[in-house]
């Protein structure tokens, strides 16, 4: 059964989920953040089937989050290194972990804590406004079409409702 691609949706979350595709991909990235680089190490740490791991690593390399580099020539062996794009995914992993720590950890507390090396304290990820640094919540954020949103879609009634385009009380002033 072929899955529907979300790669061309006008939504960065949908495109990201299209890339991730399943639960193994973020776990492969988590292991890369722990310093795992070699196929056998990923396989051993995750207990993932070799064919599944091969596919996930191939997809991460193809998407530019990891690069496959030769570390031995006889026989040829590769390691998988995070690219700039892959390293930038750390915030996603940290935010998902913080949510899990809050809502899924048992009474004993989070199973893993993140030590911020710069200040020496344990830290949780927070999502804040890039301008004022205040927390972003579903109650204080209003989605609106950005410059990459397809203009043709803005003609659809359901999209106009989603972004409150016909509601002058909720419409952002600079949205045309």
Structure confidence by residue, pLDDT tens digits, 54-108: 999 999 999 999 999 999 999 999 999 999 999 999 999 999 999 999 999 999 9
176 in a structural domain: no
CATH number at residue 38: 1.10.10.10
What string of DSSP letters covers 77-96?
EEEEEE-HHHHHTHHHHHHH
Please check whether residues 118 and 54 belong to one and the same domain: no
* Residue 94 domain-assigned (yes or no): yes
21 and 54 share a domain?
yes
Instruction: Tell whether 7 is covered by a domain.
Output: no
pLDDT band at 176 (very low <50, low <70, confident <90, very high): very low
Per-residue model confidence as pLDDT tens digits over 100-158 = 999 999 999 999 999 999 999 999 999 999 999 999 999 999 999 999 999 999 999 99
Structural domains in the chain (count): 3
Regarding whether 97 and 83 lie in a shared domain, the answer is no
Sign of CA dihedral 5, 11, 13, 19: positive
pLDDT for the residue 170: 65
Provide the domain limits for residue 62.
Answer: 12-88
Give Cα 157 to chain centroid, integer Å: 30
51 lies in the same domain as 74? yes
Q: What pTM does this model have? A: 0.85
Same domain for 96 and 143? no
Indicate the pLDDT class of residue 29, thresholds 50, 70 and 90: very high
């Amino acid at each position: 059964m072929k899955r529907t691609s979300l790669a061309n949706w006008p939504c960065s979350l949908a495109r990201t989920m299209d890339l991730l595709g399943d639960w193994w991909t973020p776990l492969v990235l988590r292991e890369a953040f722990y310093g795992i680089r070699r196929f056998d190490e990923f396989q051993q740490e995750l207990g993932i089937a070799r064919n599944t791991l091969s596919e996930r690593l191939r997809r991460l390399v193809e998407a530019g989050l990891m690069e496959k580099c030769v570390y031995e020539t006889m026989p040829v062996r590769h390691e998988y290194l995070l690219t700039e794009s892959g390293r930038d995914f750390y915030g996603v992993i940290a935010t998902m972990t913080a949510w899990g720590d809050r809502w899924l950890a048992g009474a004993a507390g989070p199973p893993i804590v993140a030590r911020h090396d710069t200040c020496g304290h344990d830290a949780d990820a927070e999502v804040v406004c890039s301008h004022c640094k205040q927390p972003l919540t579903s109650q204080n954020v209003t989605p609106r079409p950005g410059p990459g949103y397809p203009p043709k879609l803005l003609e659809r009634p359901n999209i106009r409702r989603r972004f409150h385009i016909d509601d002058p009380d909720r419409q952002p002033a600079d949205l045309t």
